[in-house]
Amino acid sequence: MDPLDLVGAEPGPARTILFDGRPVPALPGQTLAAALWADGVLAWRTTRTGGRPRGAFCGIGQCFDCLATVNGRPNQRLCLLPAEHGDAVTTQEGHGHGDLAV
């Protein structure tokens, strides 16, 4: 039996977010990180030193590995943000403030 049938859940319609300009489906209640994972995207940030890929690590907002730019705002934790229709997520390079000499 389908778990949704067991609980009587009726999820709302799917949404679409954009990841680096590409449409990605998201279910109601999914975080941005979960929607990207479900679509096969595992990394959406690179480290400031070395440019190593990062994505979700802890999944509960403690480690800051899941930072990305959302709707033009850098340093957003994707594991905590619910996916809203039309959200634009872009890969973040380093600390997300390219105009700062850090």
Give per-residue pLDDT as tens, 58-90: 878 788 888 999 999 999 999 999 999 999 999
Tokens of 37: 């994972």
Q: Using CA atoms of 33, 39, 40, 43 in order, give the dihedral in degrees to the nearest 10.
A: -30
Which of 3.10.20.440, 3.10.129.10, 1.10.10.10, 3.40.50.620 is the CATH number of 14-93?
3.10.20.440
Has this prediction a pTM greater than 0.85? Answer: no
CA dist., res. 77 & res. 38, Å (int): 17
Give per-residue pLDDT as tens, 22-47: 999 999 989 999 999 999 998 888 88
